[in-house]
Amino acid sequence: TQLLEQSPQFLSIQEGENLTVYCNSSSVFSSLQWYRQEPGEGPVLLVTVVTGGEVKKLKRLTFQFGDARKDSSLHITAAQPGDTGLYLCAGGLNQFYFGTGTSLTVIP
């Protein structure tokens, strides 16, 4: 059983579209991180959110931590082919628990 569930599992969209990826759990986390992983490489940290309700923006990416610190979302505006990759959320307790992952493909 995964502690963090991500949805959707797979997403294929056209360049320029918007999308949202969700990361949900019944557990409360001290922090929530989002990573992007490309084939053959390790995950790369995008952002860390620590406060319930916190919103962070990284260019076209907007990250939100739920008020109860149990869930998070990643919104991408005007997706580009360079956004293609596996997006992973990770919740911090006594260790990091990773979500199931969302594989995003942006078609030019």
Q: Which residues bind to another protein, rule: CB under 8 A?
A: 2, 29-31, 33, 35, 40-45, 48, 50, 88, 90-101
CB 65 within 8 A of CB 53: yes
The distance of closest approach from Cβ of residue 78 to another protein in the complex, given in angstroms and rounded to an integer, is 27
The distance of closest approach from Cβ of residue 1 to another protein in the complex, given in angstroms and rounded to an integer, is 11
Q: Residue 92 carries which side chain, given as an amino acid letter? A: G
Nearer to another protein, 24 or 108 (CB): 24
DSSP 91-107: EESSSEEE---EEEEEE
- The residues that bridge with 93 in the sheet, in sequence order, are none
- The residues that bridge with 98 in the sheet, in sequence order, are 90
The distance of closest approach from Cβ of residue 59 to another protein in the complex, given in angstroms and rounded to an integer, is 19
Nearer to another protein, 15 or 91 (CB): 91
